[in-house]
Structure 1
Amino acid sequence: MNDDRSDNPPPSDDDETALFRRAVAGTRPLNSSYVPPERKPPPPRARFRRQDEEAVLTESLLCSAEDIEANAGERLQFRRPEVGQRTLRRLARGSYSIQAEIDLHGMTAAYAESALHAFIRDSVQNNLRCVRIVHGKGHGSGLGGPVLKVKVNHWLRRWRDVLAFASARQVDGGTGAVYVLLRHG
């Protein structure tokens, strides 16, 4: 057998250099003194700043001055505009039958939020009208005041399925619990 590759050895580096020089004959190098202008990166900006600011503004408009003061006080009360004042008074007096309850004592804020959200969702799906949430009075929270009480106050205001809530009567937990009136599922 006659192998053509053995008859033609691979080109040497000298042959390739000569070939390249013939290919670029008559050309001249580019002026290498040109330096492109330095581009400064754009200033950093918060991608979600506007959304965050709008969310804070919307949330602040949902709360009345009474609601904000209730955060620092002992008793909690809240009602959506479609809920009458008389209904809120009846809720605060314990006139509605408590159909379910959850106790958040000893939970971290993150765990309590998740558990409470699931509890509210399940209660609405089961067509429960009134539930009780035991958040505690915050006596173990130290100088910072009650953590879960403040968080529960905040979370319940955000969730559309919550129509109203009020601190419970003394026999049902007093200022360490709230009655919650839920939207019909």
Structure 2
Amino acid sequence: MTQSARDDQDFRAMMGDVRPLSRNGNRADPGRPRRSPTEAQLARRNSAQAEGEGDSFLSDDFVDLIAPFDPLEYRRDGIQQGVVDRLRHGGYTAQARLHLLRRPLAECRRILPGFIQEAYAHDLRSVLIVHGRGREIDSAPNVLRSYLAKWLAQFEEVQAFVSAQQADGGLGATWVMLRKSERARAANRERQQKRRG
């Protein structure tokens, strides 16, 4: 018996009772009518579209890259320099942290709005965002850091942000100061009035 005849016999023995699929039972048959999506599939699709539209104000267009060893600093008009200095030196505790290390830019763009808005909704004032810092200007962590500086300035809730001190992550982390919510302002006014009278 030749080698090819032996291989053919071995193959048939291994296949045993295997039969080919009938043409009409093939799921990949292009002639088969498509089923409409289920309600659960439609709900997931709508949710994903709504989530994608919710962060559309954060642009991933061109950004001026910040040099890897330049610190970040931003403050809105009316915010005192002393507040920014205290923030930079870790004078406020980190009430929440967001770690963006090694995450794709698109994922960071999607996560950031929810984090900022949730922190604001819970009356948090100071949060720390850890993003990393590369050694080259066009490294992925430095690109994220540059976009983060652009994005944070677009939030109405953000009053100021600065690069952290070495103990808190150095240039690879950013302190963010959020404004007080109306609820927190009302509580503060009430405390002040009780103190006075």
Provide TM-score, normalisation by structure 2: 0.55
Q: Structure 2 unaligned segments of length 5 or more: list them.
A: 1-63, 182-197
1:144 alignment partner, one of 118, 138, 142 = 138
Shift of 1:102: 0.4
Judge conservation of contact 1:90–1:96 (CA < 8 Å) in 2: yes
| Counterpart-to-counterpart distance in 2, 1:135 and 1:147 | 10
Secondary structure of the residue that 1:101 maps to in structure 2?
Answer: strand
Q: RMSD across aligned C-alpha pairs, in angstroms?
A: 2.0
* Residues 1:174 and 2:167 aligned together: no
Name the count of aligned residue pairs: 116
The structure that has the greater radius of gyration is: 1
| Counterpart-to-counterpart distance in 2, 1:147 and 1:174 | 16
| Counterpart-to-counterpart distance in 2, 1:143 and 1:104 | 18
1:174–1:143 Cα change, 3 Å: closer
Identity of counterpart residues, as a percentage?
37
Judge conservation of contact 1:88–1:164 (CA < 8 Å) in 2: yes
Q: Structure 1 unaligned segments of length 5 or more: list them.
A: 1-67
Shift of 1:162: 0.5
Shift of 1:149: 0.5
* Residues 1:109 and 2:105 aligned together: yes
| Counterpart-to-counterpart distance in 1, 2:137 and 2:146 | 14
Deviation digits for residues 1-60 of structure 1, max 9, x if unmatched? xxxxxxxxxxxxxxxxxxxxxxxxxxxxxxxxxxxxxxxxxxxxxxxxxxxxxxxxxxxx
Q: Residue 157 of structure 2 aligns with which residue? A: 161
* Residues 1:97 and 2:99 aligned together: no
Deviation digits for residues 122-158 of structure 1, max 9, x if unmatched? 000000010000010024xx66141110011110011
